[in-house]
Structure 1
């Protein structure tokens, strides 16, 4: 399941989404703040377009495969893609959309200077009350001494883990109500700061695209094995980032400088994260 916030969707996507809604849609009929949909797969992707000094242009996109929208479940959209180009300050790791700061990067961090406890990562949009999602805990021992297994490859310890503070929201209208919250968990490669796994419904990148929330539980494969631990949520699926040797335990002074030296960004480095939200392949 996923929830779209039409007010923040790119205009062309918003027009297309609204045109597909039936008159029975809660968003149309009852004034529900979000458009609810379902799908079989979700692809979250980012591409570094250009870098000039401390500013990167990042193309962030999410694709919902075999998507259906509320009130119109007979129409299947093979690939519903939402994308936007954002500016990323590489010193503060803050995204900007048309000059307005919108939150800290959550798909990747500076491993030498991760967000500190209390730091606001992003704000949930579409609610009547302001809800800020902030860092609760940062650890360099996420998953302990276990190897984290992903679709791309295993990642041996240590891993950087960021857990948010607990947050809650509750809204109600004449014929609708919505509530949620909890804590978000993000796990990163120790040397590069690339997200390798996560259990979360919200992130800066998703909110910037107009995606209020998603079901990130991977019901295809999870749990422990003799080789390590399969996280419950999303897992790194593919990337063309050249990871350093696992024997090297010293993170680079600047992860972006490391990527530049490796030549990856010149080829438009991309991270593809994939998860299944209902067991289909």
Structure 2
């Protein structure tokens, strides 16, 4: 993989090495425990956005289930979809304007944090309603910093999608979304799990905050199959992924079929196609850079390393890479001497 800075370029070439290096990583205290990033503190916020395209028919489609919605928000929605709420039937929110997902941290301790999740729909319609200027859903989840999972009413519902621990990348098979709340409501579905973690080293990712040069970390998820007839006919199948900044572990693009954050808001199937990104990508050299097609990083108070300094990213992964290179060089020197 390759990383570019102003007037500087560094490259890491991955080759075979001895099992001792991997044993070291497994036994390392940094690699064996969930450790949130340094920016994970009270007052931190991050906002992601989806913008419509120029076409009149390019709307977003979001499917909600009343019994999963925050109780205080049901009151706001009742005048528009009262019958759906009464029968706990799936209903849709069509969006013709932007959608903003904002995540805020507070009450952060060594063992837990409260994570407020707010989703705002602009210029949206509910059922046959006239366009509504703004509709919001909001809920606060407990994030256990010991195991790295969200809890809602005592139930573990999944891992946060907006960041990863760069010192402990999620392993293949780890549960990203526990679908127990859905199965309890007559949905047939499997848990959504991590299927692969890889490094993206070819393209620059463009967001409203900044350009993120490679490498980035890509967490791919397995297939989610979800069906129900009790709440209205629904059959949903799909795969998804999230792109993370290598330096900070922050998600810079959310392109998931669903997530613990969305389920906690009552959204079974969010609209994650970004028409604005699609239009912008037509104007770019897509082989070198692109706008993500999902929720794009829009605003945050997180400070990113200054690339013009030419310094390597200050993360535990950097030290693992340096250690790995050192061990490889030592091993090669020993072989040459033999």
TM beyond 0.5? yes
Cα-Cα RMSD: 2.2
**CA 1:219/1:96 → structure 2, altered by over 3 Å: closer, same or farther?**
same
Q: Does 1:9 align with 2:39?
A: no
| Off by >4 Å, runs of 4+ in structure 1 | none
Structure in which a larger fraction of residues adopt helix: 2
Aligned position for 2:54: none
**CA 1:98/1:166 → structure 2, altered by over 3 Å: closer, same or farther?**
closer
Q: Deviations over 1:132-151 (max 9, x none)?
A: 11111111x22x32111111
CA contact (8 A) 2:66 2:90 kept: yes
Within 5 Å, give how 1:1-281 maps onto structure 2.
1-21=61-81, 27=84, 33-39=89-95, 40-70=97-127, 72-74=128-130, 76-124=131-179, 125=182, 126-139=185-198, 141-142=199-200, 144-172=201-229, 176-222=232-278, 223=281, 225-226=284-285, 228-246=289-307, 247-252=311-316
In structure 2, list runs of 5 or more residues that go unmatched: 1-60, 318-338
Q: Distance in 2 between matches of 1:21 and 1:109?
A: 37
Aligned position for 1:276: none
**CA 1:127/1:20 → structure 2, altered by over 3 Å: closer, same or farther?**
same
TM-score, L = length of structure 1: 0.79
Structure in which a larger fraction of residues adopt strand: 1
TM superposition shift of 1:79: 1.5
3-state SS of 2:191 partner: strand
Q: Distance in 2 between matches of 1:177 and 1:49?
A: 39
In structure 1, list runs of 5 or more residues that go unmatched: 254-281
Give the greater-gyration-radius structure (CA).
Answer: 2
TM-score, L = length of structure 2: 0.67
**CA 1:28/1:57 → structure 2, altered by over 3 Å: closer, same or farther?**
closer
Count of residues in Structure 1 that have an aligned counterpart in Structure 2: 244
The worse-fitting range, judged by mean Cα deviation, of 60-69 and 238-247 is 238-247
